[in-house]
Structure 1
Amino acid sequence: MAAVRSQPTRILVVGGGYVGMYTALRLQSKLKAGEASVTVVDPQPHMTYQPFLPEAAAGSIEPRHVVVPLRKVLKRCHVLTGRVTRISHADKVATVELPDGHVEELGYDVLVSALGSVARTLPIPGLAERGIGFKTVGEAILLRNHVLSRMDLAATTIDPELRRKLLTFVVIGGGYAGIEALAELEDMSRYATRYHENIKPEDMRWVLVEATGRVMPEVSPRMGVYTVERLAERGIQVYLDTRVKSMVDGHVVLDDGTEFDSETIIWTAGVKANPVLENTDLPRDARGRVRCTSTTQIEGLRDAWSAGDCAAVPDLAKTEQDPQATCSPSAQHAVRQARQMADNIVAVLRGRQPQPYRHKHVGSVASLGLYRGVAELFGVRVKGFPAWFIHRTYHMSRMPTFNRKFRIVMDWTLALVFRREVVSLGQINDPKADFVRAARS
């Protein structure tokens, strides 16, 4: 007979991204009063819906509308803004660094590792100084302001070499993030040229560099070729089977001998498991991800769970062909795994057996800019406007809370009527600069 706990079970959710927020959201709706307490720890007070970052960067969506405030939606949970730096599951203690530098240790009974991923970088000279990532809403805002400000500077300079450098934009990485960021930002900059008397669309150079022989490996090779062809029609240069050797001072050198200068280098070349996992005693695979069973339980641990980009969860839809197959790092898997994991945690707390995570791959969708897209749904290929519409509809349906859904639809509606705003708010990157100059004068 199971022992009766006198205190609620303490569930600690480390990370407030897709997995962390959706897990906590479902737990607070499933758990009975007094059954368990849920604490969510994340450095940011919000969850970012990353599939909408390209549209936020391009001005089609207000950036605030692609983030969900954790405290607003997790009303029955404890939300702590801080960074987990270490986890000792043997002691059931997590070390948290708070924004003021204070360090606390949080005890727990059940752990949910939802640390997610970070950008996968390479030891390329100049990358740290010149590269701009594309995983956060802050980076989306920075890129929007940066691209538009480069156009403003190019419109005022009389130096042809500097002008060429300012109007050269490079995206490294041909996955979903890279393709959508490239397509949306190029679309925005093309639209912005109508407000510059001396900049034409053909004056700009947009470049995509991909290390493998195809783009968007999640779709069929045929759709990958279609995507490259559509990008080429817009004058975008695509380098496949090509790697970047150096980007020191904005001088980009490719391994095929191509060299050019650029003021804008966007890095979207993959992700890796959050390095915080290195400071834990959780079992990890060769790629640094937490090893999990098909129920999303961490291997060998009944009271620890993980899902999403930081977890190696068996992909039961593929294990017949490949017994070692694990779920890919995607929003589709993260949201579905979070729901299954929350249900399993509740089941175990109530003495029932957890169920395996099993999914049926519906397909993939991607935007190629305003009114253009590609999609594969149930084996059916869709292109152009229908694919773009499906992309928007699908991701809008996955955006949590009616509040955010309504705001995004309103953004789209207003953009359709009044068109997008193309003004750089570059001052936001250093808002005190003018005040400091005035105070010193």
Structure 2
Amino acid sequence: MSVGARKRIVILGGGFGGVYTAKYLEKEIGSRDDFEITLINKENYFVFQPMLPEVISGSIGLLDTVSPIRRLLPKTSLHVRELESVDLESRTVVTSPGFRPHSHMIGYDYLVIALGNVTDFRGLRGLPEHAMPFKNLADALYLRNHVIRALEEAAIERDDPVLREQLLTFVVAGGGFSGVEVAAELNDFVRGVARSYRGIDPKELRVILVHSQDRILPEVSEKLALFAQKLLGKRGVELRLNTRLEAATGEEAVIAGGERIPTRTLVSTVPSSPHPIIEGMDLPKGKNGRLIADLQLQVKGTDHIWAMGDCALIPDPAGSGFCPPTAQHAIRQAKTAAHNIVAAIRGGERKTFDFKGLGKMGALGRHSAVADIMGINVSGFLAWWMWRSIYLMKLPGWGRRLKVASSWTLDLLLPADLVELKLASSNSISQEHFEPGEEVFHQGDLGDRIYIIVNGEAEVVREDDGREMLLARLGAGEYFGEMALLSQTTRSATVRCTAPMDALSLHKREFGLLTTYLPDLKESLTHVMERRSESNEQKFKKVGGD
């Protein structure tokens, strides 16, 4: 809402579209000071997305791809909060609570929606629980730490060949620029550091790229895509084309058609959809729920709302559909939107978006890339050199450019770091997905968690003298795994999934705290355990008698 005579412009999102809109608006404030800018983002930094995959391999420093928004936008009020809702009628934005649990409301006169896309795993069994997205610095850092941990575990795993195979198999779903760059960097990293692990044979490593179309990189020409496929294949990446990821568990990637790839590392860059907040907005939407905007970047049917970037459908000035969701388009859209917002406040002629794109580039790992520059195809080392040179100059700030250039130089001379940063514990409570036939745990395993079935079914079986006996069938709302935790022994039976199942699992440390401070809960669980044990023994005696 207006503060006196000043108008308030609220920008949602801190990606290319949001940050550059604020940047161009700051240039327009001048001495008139007739509007203020507020930007809402869940992080206090701007991510230079094209370089994010290099965090995996450590080619650049962990913080080299990010810039503090406050330093980029000194005249903008930054709110580091999650978005809760947007009320279009009252023109207010509600964000998540901070240290105090109360609502945080921000009024606006003009709204800019630049929320980008989010990886959307809805409807895909097990992907929300077990697939890793790749959208921001936290995702990149988590993946890097996870991969190093998998290598550390595999180096000392000698007893379980299946587990060893899972640890040394890395699956990436999605063959667009993001998926290909992640697969390329991941492949270079694991194969490069394998020589540091005496217990790992590089021949055991598998990096698999799953893509639903007949070639990767649909954004570029067939010639460049085929070059990329040949190069990745030569470097050890397995390509699964015309193949769709259907489901996932903590131990497998399930491919449409039934094939199961044993893996403990699944990265999925697809599918994506606009931010969930946009779904709740009563605004015109087109394909995949993206907002419909005109060439002035104004949302159709409104006079005070603008949209840009991945979350908006903006007509291509060349007349061929809509603008692609690229950084170069978002930056130019931001400039047009900023000019038109100022024109709405002060009066004046508005501009239309008129940018046809300069080309596309994608890195393929070690000293290779593909590029389409103004219709000219370039591949190999020259494309890689162009990729690095162009993106280096596009980084915000000379200090950031100097850091990245230094990191790249040192990367040519020094081996990759193998430091695993254990920033936080994730062993407490989590949701897991299991496919039919998969064992949640096996008889004789160490007891480390208790499970509560959310939906689906499982059976409890016990082996004795080579015979397998069914002890129980479990369904939604029932729990299992408490016996080994309460008696501090190994698992007395195997629990096997019989239908797609989602379950909550609680780590034994938190389970121990609950039973220590809630004695009634422990007593109740102990009674259930005793009844189950007695029932199981009776079944065994009956089978023995037969």
Please, what TM-score do these two structures have when normalized by structure 1?
0.92
Question: How many angstroms does 1:313 deviate by?
Answer: 1.0
Question: How many angstroms does 1:401 deviate by?
Answer: 2.0
Residues 87 and 281 of structure 1 are in contact (CA less than 8 Å); yes or no, is this contact kept in structure 2?
no
SS at match of 2:105: strand
Q: Which residue of the partner structure matches residue 384 of structure 2?
A: 388
After superposition, the C-alpha distances for 1:45-77 in whole angstroms (9 at most, x for unaligned) are 111111111001210111212111111221111
Which has a greater percent of strand?
A: 2
Q: Equivalences for 1:104-119 in 2 at 5 Å?
A: 104-119=104-119
Q: How many Å separate the matches in 1 of 2:118 and 2:352?
A: 27
When residues 364 and 90 of structure 1 are mapped into structure 2, their CA distance, relative to the original with a 3 A threshold, is same
After superposition, the C-alpha distances for 1:189-226 in whole angstroms (9 at most, x for unaligned) are 11101211232322101111111122111100121111
Deviates more, 1:281-290 or 1:10-19: 281-290
Which of 416, 424, 428 is matched with 2:423 structurally? 428
Q: Equivalences for 1:101-140 in 2 at 5 Å?
A: 101-140=101-140
Q: Which residue of the partner structure matches residue 10 of structure 1?
A: 8
Q: How many Å separate the matches in 2 of 1:65 and 1:104?
A: 32
2:181 matches 1:200: no
SS at match of 1:215: coil
Residues 154 and 199 of structure 2 are in contact (CA less than 8 Å); yes or no, is this contact kept in structure 1?
no
Question: How many angstroms does 1:431 deviate by?
Answer: 9.5
Q: How many Å separate the matches in 2 of 1:383 and 1:48?
A: 26
2:369 matches 1:369: no
When residues 17 and 377 of structure 1 are mapped into structure 2, their CA distance, relative to the original with a 3 A threshold, is same
When residues 431 and 298 of structure 1 are mapped into structure 2, their CA distance, relative to the original with a 3 A threshold, is closer
Q: How many Å separate the matches in 1 of 2:137 and 2:124?
A: 25
Residues 122 and 128 of structure 2 are in contact (CA less than 8 Å); yes or no, is this contact kept in structure 1?
no
Question: How many angstroms does 1:257 deviate by?
Answer: 4.5
2:235 matches 1:234: yes
Deviates more, 1:342-351 or 1:191-200: 342-351
After superposition, the C-alpha distances for 1:155-174 in whole angstroms (9 at most, x for unaligned) are 10102221111100000000
Q: How many Å separate the matches in 1 of 2:8 and 2:18?
A: 15
Residues 134 and 268 of structure 2 are in contact (CA less than 8 Å); yes or no, is this contact kept in structure 1?
yes
Give the letter for the 1:145 counterpart: N
Q: How many Å separate the matches in 2 of 1:326 and 1:209?
A: 27
When residues 186 and 370 of structure 1 are mapped into structure 2, their CA distance, relative to the original with a 3 A threshold, is same
Unaligned runs of 5+ in 2: 429-508, 514-546
Bigger relative contact order, structure 1 or 2, given CA contacts below 8 A and separation 6+?
A: 1
Residues 88 and 281 of structure 1 are in contact (CA less than 8 Å); yes or no, is this contact kept in structure 2?
no
2:304 matches 1:303: yes
Give the letter for the 1:350 counterpart: R
Q: Which residue of the partner structure matches residue 86 of structure 1?
A: 85
Q: How many Å separate the matches in 2 of 1:308 and 1:98?
A: 27
Q: How many Å separate the matches in 1 of 2:343 and 2:122?
A: 42
SS at match of 2:423: helix
Q: Which residue of the partner structure matches residue 24 of structure 1?
A: 22
Residues 244 and 255 of structure 1 are in contact (CA less than 8 Å); yes or no, is this contact kept in structure 2?
yes
**Percent identity over paired residues:** 33
After superposition, the C-alpha distances for 1:22-63 in whole angstroms (9 at most, x for unaligned) are 111111122123221001111111111111110012101112
Residues 56 and 62 of structure 1 are in contact (CA less than 8 Å); yes or no, is this contact kept in structure 2?
yes
Residues 17 and 48 of structure 1 are in contact (CA less than 8 Å); yes or no, is this contact kept in structure 2?
yes
Q: How many Å separate the matches in 2 of 1:358 and 1:62?
A: 36
Residues 81 and 99 of structure 1 are in contact (CA less than 8 Å); yes or no, is this contact kept in structure 2?
no
Q: How many Å separate the matches in 1 of 2:3 and 2:74?
A: 24
SS at match of 2:296: coil
Residues 132 and 266 of structure 2 are in contact (CA less than 8 Å); yes or no, is this contact kept in structure 1?
yes
Question: How many angstroms does 1:343 deviate by?
Answer: 2.1
Q: How many Å separate the matches in 1 of 2:406 and 2:293?
A: 40
SS at match of 1:11: strand
Q: Which residue of the partner structure matches residue 97 of structure 1?
A: 96
Give the letter for the 2:297 counterpart: T
Q: How many Å separate the matches in 1 of 2:246 and 2:104?
A: 42
Q: Which residue of the partner structure matches residue 211 of structure 1?
A: 212
Give the letter for the 1:20 counterpart: G
SS at match of 1:224: helix
2:47 matches 1:45: no
When residues 332 and 384 of structure 1 are mapped into structure 2, their CA distance, relative to the original with a 3 A threshold, is same
Q: How many Å separate the matches in 2 of 1:124 and 1:290?
A: 24
Q: How many Å separate the matches in 1 of 2:305 and 2:261?
A: 50
Residues 156 and 199 of structure 2 are in contact (CA less than 8 Å); yes or no, is this contact kept in structure 1?
no
Give the letter for the 1:310 counterpart: C
Residues 89 and 282 of structure 1 are in contact (CA less than 8 Å); yes or no, is this contact kept in structure 2?
no
Between structure 1 and structure 2, the one with the greater Rg is: 2
After superposition, the C-alpha distances for 1:369-413 in whole angstroms (9 at most, x for unaligned) are 121111111222211111111111222222222222222112212
Q: Equivalences for 1:130-209 in 2 at 5 Å?
A: 130-158=130-158, 159-209=160-210
Question: How many angstroms does 1:308 deviate by?
Answer: 0.5
When residues 199 and 174 of structure 1 are mapped into structure 2, their CA distance, relative to the original with a 3 A threshold, is same
Give the letter for the 1:108 counterpart: Y
SS at match of 1:169: strand
After superposition, the C-alpha distances for 1:132-158 in whole angstroms (9 at most, x for unaligned) are 010010110111111111111111010
Q: How many Å separate the matches in 1 of 2:10 and 2:60?
A: 33
RMSD: 2.1
Q: Which residue of the partner structure matches residue 69 of structure 1?
A: 68
Residues 362 and 387 of structure 2 are in contact (CA less than 8 Å); yes or no, is this contact kept in structure 1?
yes
Question: How many angstroms does 1:432 deviate by?
Answer: 11
Q: Which residue of the partner structure matches residue 338 of structure 2?
A: 342
When residues 352 and 168 of structure 1 are mapped into structure 2, their CA distance, relative to the original with a 3 A threshold, is same
